[in-house]
Amino acid sequence: MRMRAKNDTRHPLNPDAGSGRPLHSSTSGEDSIEPLLEEIRQKHGEALQAILVYGSWLRGKRDTMLDFYVLVEDYRTLDSAWQGWMCKLLPPNVYHIHHTSDQPQPDSHELRAKYALLTLDRFCEAMKSDFHSYFWARFAQPCKVLYARDERTQNQLKEAFSNAAANFINRVLPTMENSFSSEQLWTHGLALTYQCELRTESSNRGESIYDFNPGYYDEITRSFAATSATLNATDNDNTYRRQSSGFAVKKSAFSWWARRVQGKVLSVMRLFKAAFTFNEPLEYLLWKIERHSGIYIAPTRRQLEHPLIFAWPSLWKLHRRGAFR
């Protein structure tokens, strides 16, 4: 199913995707992200198929690390064969890049990003058919395509974004009350997907994401309902009814329980894997936890040097204090 917002400024392939605002503006203090993109292009060369940006940076936050997705043809540009093997087994691989200007300005600062890498084919497959919500929950939300190699790649991405949104709605629908609004569908659905990972965000994170760009989510819901047998629009503006059998409701409840269990395991495995691909992984993790929860535990030198061996007690303390769920 192909779903598009009526206003193209909200389409993920449009330069103003996701927020109705330019990804880059000339506002004083905003650094160009081009040096980061150039580093990615230099690293992955001819294997590079697309670069996406998503997350809080698109929602206007500048006190954060950028989140890129780098989609490649294959894993030949990775530093070692085992990194490619790990990415095939448990995508994506996560890497850290940063750039400091050679001619710093008074208001300049170091530009930092992390990027998740996997093949374009695996990315498209995940949007359409993955059981877990890790990929399709992220890309049902607004994102921006910073680079696409050719028209065929652009078309693949369009279809992938449409599949992500359709997958999200189909999986969330049976968990809803009989009558609900588009806002309730998305905020409840996002809350469900957050429960399926180890997350540091507050419990109202889904509400803040919806509130930043309600028109994007409302238009997706209307487009889906126009051709769906399981979601019907009512005469009341922006109100819908679901058409789900009792069996579908019970099956969905079990599926979301299974995703929560699976997701916690996958999150721990991805943390373990990131220790081999991410520079200073523990420092980044503690920074992100503090940024969202306000809770911080200073790492020891031994923990920084050998996080896989010695960091677990501190992470357990943070979990017990409610820093992440």
Instruction: Quote the pTM value.
Output: 0.81
Q: Are 40 and 115 in contact (CB under 8 A)?
A: yes
Q: Is 218 within 8 Å of 182 (Cβ atoms)? A: yes
pLDDT in tens, 205-261: 889 999 999 999 999 999 999 999 999 999 888 899 999 999 999 999 999 999 999
Domain 8-279: top CATH class: alpha beta
pLDDT digits (tens, 9 = 90+) for 262-279: 998 998 888 778 777 876
Selection from 193, 174, 189, 192 nearest residue 241 by Cα: 174
Q: Which residues pair with 114 in a beta bridge?
A: 67, 96
Burial class of residue 92 (count of CB atoms within 10 Å of its CB; 0-12, 13-18, 19+) = buried
Tell me the per-residue pLDDT of 161-199, one tens digit each, with 9 for 90 and over: 999 999 999 999 999 999 999 999 999 999 999 999 877
CA angle at 213 for the pair 211 and 216, rounded to the nearest 5°: 130
Question: Looking at the DSSP assignment, which residues form a beta bridge with residue 119?
Answer: 72
Spell out the domain ranges in the chain: 8-279, 280-325
